[in-house]
Amino acid sequence: MSHLDHTPSTPGKFKMDKSAYPYHGGRLRWHSSLAKLTFWSFVFIGVIFIFFYRSPSSSSSSSAAATTSSSSSRFHSDPSRRSLRTSSWGGPAWEKKVRTSARIRSRNGFSVLVTGAAGFVGTHVSSALKRRGDGVLGLDNFNDYYDPTLKRARQALLERAGVFIVEGDINDAALLKKLFEVVPFTHVMHLAAQAGVRYAMQNPGSYVHSNIAGFVSLLEVCKEATPQPAIVWASSSSVYGLNTKVPFSEKDRTDQPASLYAATKKAGEEIAHTYNHIYGLSLTGLRFFTVYGPWGRPDMAYFFFTKDILNGKSIPIFEGENHGTVARDFTYIDDIVKGCLGALDTAQKSTGSGGKKKGPAQLRVFNLGNTSPIPVTNLVTILERLLKVKAKRNVMKLPRNGDVQFTHANISLAHRELGYKPTTNLQTGLKKFVRWYLNYYSAAGKKADAR
C-alpha cells in the first residue's frame, strides 16, 4: 500500500487559538513531595542497575508505544537472544541519508527525531510530520516482540515518503550522540518502548531495559545537546493502575500500578520530572488510551480478534468480578496523531545547553483518549458485522496479570492546551482497520492468519 489508510493522518501544522502558550499555571501540580520524588528516583535507579547489569541480554526497545491487550507469543524469541542490537552505521553515505531525511522543507518547520519510528504510532506520526514539511529521522531496532515483517513493511512505507529509519537501539549512546552531531534536532518524539502488559510476566528485564534505561539513555544525550531539543514522549493510560475514580484525570493518583509495564511508564514520568528539574529539558508526556487502527500491533485485542474470527478460532472475552463489564477507551490512530502533533507544536524550548540548566522549563502530561469507553463485547459485535463472520466467544474471568477492568480518559486538559478533540468513533475506526487488514494480508500472497 502506498498510504497509511488511503486518507493519511493529520495534514498541516496545528495552530493554537492563543497567541502564546501558557504552561498551565507554570507547571502541572505534581502530588509527590520532593522527598517522595527523591525516594522514587533512587528506587528507579536501583532497578536499572539490577536489571540492566544483571541481564545484559534483556530485550531492546520495542518499536511501539501503546496499551496492549494480549501478547503474540509466536514472535517472542528467547529473552537471551533479545539483546541490544545496533546495525552498522556511520560514513558519508549514511550521514547524507540522515541529513536528507531530517531536512526541514517548510517555513518554521521542525527537525524531529522519532524513536520507535517503525512502530504503530511511530509510523503514523512520522508520516504526518513529513507530509506537513517537517524534517523527520526515524530510529528503531526492529526487535521481534511481534512480527518484524510488519515493521519492515512500515519502514518501506516511510521510505517511499522520504523518511529514513536508522536501525539501532536507544541504549546505544554512541549512536544517539552521532545522530545529534549530524542533525541539530529541534524536537524528539520518543515513542520507542517495550509494550505489552502481559509480556512483562515473561520478560520483565526487557521493560526496564527499554522503558527506563532506554529513556535515561536518550535524556542523557538530549541534555548535553546544544541546543537541547524539546521532548514529547509516550507514557500510558496504564499508569492509572488500580485507580477507581473515573474518568481518569491527570490530577488523579498514579502510585498503584497494576503491571510492571505500568510501573515502568510511571517511572518514566518521575524521570522526566527529574531531568526537567535538573537540566532544563522541556518534556511532555502523553498518556495514550488503547490506540487502534490500520498498521496496528498484532498483540492488540482488536487485531488478533480479527485474525481469529476469520480463521474460525475462539476468542477470549474477559469479564470482571460478578460478571462485570470490561471496557476500554478505544482511540483511533488519527486522533492520537493529532494529539502528538499538537504537543509538538505547543512544546516550549528547553532552557538548558550542554548539560547546564539556565531557567525553568516546561513540564506537562496529557491524557489522549476518546472519552467514550466501549465494552469489549461491543467491539466484537462490530467486528462480526464488518467481517460477516460470527465470532466464537469464550467468556472467562479477567486474569490477574496486569489488565484492568475499565479505562476512561478525561481529556479536558488536552482539549484546552492542545486543541485535542477526537472525532473517530469505534464503528468508523474499525471499518478502516478491517479494510486495511484484508488488503494487507491478501497482498503478495500473504494469508489472513497474520503469521
Any idea which residues carry the catalytic annotation? 261
Alpha carbon separation from 97 to 2, 170, 174, 184 (Å, rounded): 21, 19, 18, 15
Closest CA to 58 of 40, 34, 84: 84
| Euclidean distance between CA atoms 110 and 229, whole angstroms | 10
Residues 107, 132 contacting (CB under 8 angstroms): no
Residue 217: strand, helix, or coil: helix
- Grid cell 505547543 — which residue? 346
| Euclidean distance between CA atoms 340 and 117, whole angstroms | 13
Residues 316, 396 contacting (CB under 8 angstroms): yes
| Euclidean distance between CA atoms 66 and 193, whole angstroms | 9
| Euclidean distance between CA atoms 368 and 409, whole angstroms | 7
The amino acid that residue 271 corresponds to is: I
- Beta bridge pairs of residue 114: 138, 189
- 262's grid cell: 505500568
Q: State the Cα angle at 402 between 396 and 406, rounded to 5°.
A: 70
DSSP state of 80: G
- Grid cell 467514550 — which residue? 372
| Euclidean distance between CA atoms 168 and 117, whole angstroms | 11
| Euclidean distance between CA atoms 332 and 422, whole angstroms | 8
Closest CA to 91 of 156, 166, 172, 157: 166
Residues 213, 54 contacting (CB under 8 angstroms): no
The amino acid that residue 243 corresponds to is: N
- Grid cell 469507553 — which residue? 373
Q: Dihedral sign for Cα 447, 296, 293, 261, please.
A: positive
Strand runs (DSSP E) across 131-217, as ranges? 135-140, 164-167, 187-190
